[in-house]
Structure 1
């Protein structure tokens, strides 16, 4: 039994001035104890609060992972003090997940190392190719100079041919170097794009939106290399992903609302189910990230690579499977009806998520700074 502070002699609540007959105020719930505490009491009180929070936290996490929909049903039935509140749970898991994803470095497993080695070899080949192209330009120019010295061609022709060769080769190198095309078109710079848009015939000009998007993308290409664009794109995408999920949750709850009895289920009920389901998905991603980080350091051993592969496969399958028993248990429908609804909702949500992610990807790309 925990140590309790002595009650105040004054029976007037310090918080709301209501008369307190026993330990707790019947009006606001505040404990009517002495406000001046000893260090021992503060230590014991802190330990009790921490233990209570940990018990509720681990109980919540256990049910969230292993008992689909149990948290939602318990919450709506009125049992709320034994678990973390849905909004607090989602915010906490979301913060920890995206924080650790940003902080924990990506391990280079055996596949990753092989990919990196292949990338280095490709870059080395490209470097050698560029050197060969430059040497070819030099050799061909020397041939033209020799012809000029022998009097076979004039100085003017020699200069023109050399310039043509150099420009042609540089254009080839530029084309090979370009990693992105904007709406199927390539531009050397934003100045070239602006010039084409300004002086081209009306029939060949880009539309207002197409020109705006192309110019935004060209500004990014002019400022960064392909590798830098990819790095900044991934960084910005991960940064905006929590916002996209937060925006999508009301839509997910709305889809659930469309498929259920409107008199029996309120939108609030679907919102609670959605918060718990998305908390599960984020927590699963967090576990996968931690597992990948730990086993990534042991990837040189075949045994741990196999364990890593099995764990990831089982986790991904479970993440897809989880929704169906959760939906069935929460809405208490016949299993076949719940499965059919679940499949239809899965495809609706899949297309919705793809659309949002595409929009997010475009927004991320044109706003790279």
Structure 2
């Protein structure tokens, strides 16, 4: 598109005022073309940019999934125009993945509520029917009370079987009760348990169990992308520790990490979409199919790191295999620590 744009007769650069001898300014690199375009030129320029982005995007995604480490090697060798930049790729996939999860979670919750409505309405109508029968004199008060008691007992048994919805629940209604019990039985509490209970009581005084659960998962969901982004430098640092400092820069490990985490997020996105789509086909065949597909995705996701690590760093298969195992082992504990910290942070931030 650039070569088709007409050059300005004025050789002064519009950006930095230097003299432009040819098409591009030797000082700032801006093309010396007329900035005012017709609608046709603007449309063609937009279409070409979109096509280029789309081609680069699909080529990047294809290589990311099917050719472990190829994107990283291509990028570091200088072949960058045909692919999306690593940070741009990660941000785009991360945004789409977590946005999709949030949207589908909301849709699923609404679907579950719709499914549970008939049951609630039935129970409510039964109670109303008993009361109406009592008012009309068809049954006595004692019989009506007995039927309502049986209904209440059935509800409580169901609650006991399927859970009462308590979330971060505590038996203490006030902090005073907690302090009194702690003074009488100091051996019952360690520092972490005491802190947790002290934090839980005001939250339960302020919100219902459902509100606490919603707020907790809302905070957790919002903080996962941040935690993942903060974790990536640690992953790259672990790679840096296991490989030669003269041959590999931390930057190289960072690019490998961005591509690897983009792949992981893409697999999560695929798994979520497949599960959501097939959830509308409520039979054993599609349920089994989802299990098989997700199992295949899990195997590929777990295996992916081994060939990616081997091909990128160019070590023997044996050395690469044991280094990969050690890296996965180390990162398992790093992830566990970050997840625990994220859960605590999300709980603290329930206001």
Which TM-score band applies after superposition, normalised by the shorter structure? Answer: 0.7 to 0.9
Please tell me whether the aligned partners of residues 167 and 213 of structure 2 are also in contact (alpha carbons under 8 angstroms): no
Q: Tell me the residue number matched to 1:352.
A: 334
Runs of 4+ in 1 over 6 A off after TM superposition: 132-135
Q: Deviations over 1:29-51 (max 9, x none)?
A: 21111222111111111111111
- Unaligned 5+ segments in structure 2 are 124-145, 154-159
Aligned to 1:292: 275
Instruction: Name the structure 2 match of 1:187.
Output: 172
Distance 1:243 1:337 in 2: 33
Once the two structures are superposed, what CA deviation does each residue of 1:215-268 show, in whole Å capped at 9, x if it has no partner? 112222333344443333222211111111011111100111111011111111
Residue aligning to 1:319: 301
Query: Following the alignment from structure 2 to structure 1, what is the Cα–Cα distance between the partners of residues 65 and 106?
Result: 25
Instruction: Say which of 235, 240, 257 aligns to 2:240.
Output: 257
For the residue of structure 1 that corresponds to 2:265, the secondary structure is: helix
Q: Are the equivalent residues in 2 in contact too, given 1:107–1:292 (CA < 8 A)? A: no
TM-score using structure 1 length: 0.75
Farther off after superposition, 272-281 or 80-89: 80-89
Structure 2 CA distance for aligned equivalents of residues 180 and 75 of structure 1? 47
Q: How many residues align?
A: 315
In the alignment, does 2:315 pair up with 1:340?
A: no
Q: Is the 8 A contact 1:106 1:293 kept in 2?
A: no
Contact 1:3 1:44 in 2 (8 A): no
Maintained 8 Å contact 1:97/1:286: yes
Q: Distance in 2 between matches of 1:202 and 1:186?
A: 15
After superposition, the Cα gap between the structure-2 partners of 1:203 and 1:43, relative to the gap in structure 1 and judged at 3 Å, is: closer
On the 8 A contact 2:63/2:71 being kept in 1, the answer is: yes
Partner of 2:308: helix, strand, or coil? helix
Max radius of gyration: which structure? 1
Structure 1 Cα separation of the partners of residues 165 and 88 of structure 2 = 47
Deviation of 1:19 after TM superposition, in Å, equals 2.6
1:266 and 1:231 map into 2 onto residues whose CA distance is: 43
Aligned-partner Cα distance in 2 for 1:295–1:62 = 24
Q: Residues 58 and 237 of structure 1: is their aligned pair in 2 closer, same or farther, counting only changes over 3 Å?
A: same
- Coordinate RMSD, CA, aligned: 3.4
Return the offset for 1:91: 1.0
- Taking the aligned partners of 1:218 and 1:300, their CA distance within structure 2 comes to 41
The answer as to whether partners of 1:328 and 1:334 remain within 8 angstroms in 2 is yes
